Amino acid sequence: MNHIGIGYDVHKLVEGRRLILGGVEIPHSKGLEGHSDADVLLHAICDAILGAMGEKDIGHLFPNTDPRWHNASSKIFLKETARQVAFHDGRVVNVDATVIAEEPKISGFIAAMKENIARELGVSSKRIGVKATTNEQIGFIGRGEGIAAMAVASVELPK
């Protein structure tokens, strides 16, 4: 039986941090603020997959109060999320995600993001969709104060 989940994440852009999206470091004057590497794309995907399984969100698995996750790569979170799917005798069918950012432009990095995501989930990159859009200069994203991502995941589970 296929189950569908939705994920969303947003982080503030700040000076002095690297910008990591989809497990790829992207050259930019600011990075995302957070306890881990604050990869909004991978966080949204984790939440979509966890939601498809009917589980709690990423914050319950990797709380920002736990020092083990300070500056941790979010690829660790995605790999553990995939492990949770396998533990429940399931498999990730596909993921579709959108990054919402005024800048930087990320189109040149999407192929590498898809490969990272596919590798950690153990699926073909053909089953991973990553898109980018702006917020048309509206709101905090439009003013370049943050980046958001949303994702949908399909997970096949025995029941």
Where in the chain are the domains? 2-156
Report the distance separating Cα 96 and Cα 118, nearest Å.
12
What's the mean pLDDT when you consider all of the chain? 96
Buried b (16+ CB within 10 A) or exposed e, 23-56: bbebebebbbebbbbbbbbbbbbbbbbbbbbebe
Res 67: pLDDT: 86
Question: Could you give the CA distance from residue 41 to residue 39 in angstroms, rounded to a whole number?
Answer: 6
Please give the angle made by the CA atoms of 8, 151 and 133, to the nearest 5 degrees: 90
Residues of the chain with pLDDT under 50: none
Rounded-to-integer distance, Cα 60 and Cα 68, Å = 14
**Interval 47-89: pLDDT, tens:** 999 999 999 999 998 988 988 889 899 999 999 999 999 999 9
Residue 68 confidence (pLDDT): 87
The separation between CA 76 and the C-alpha centre of its own chain, rounded to angstroms, equals 11
Instruction: Report the distance separating Cα 116 and Cα 122, nearest Å.
Output: 10
CATH of domain 2-156: 3.30.1330.50
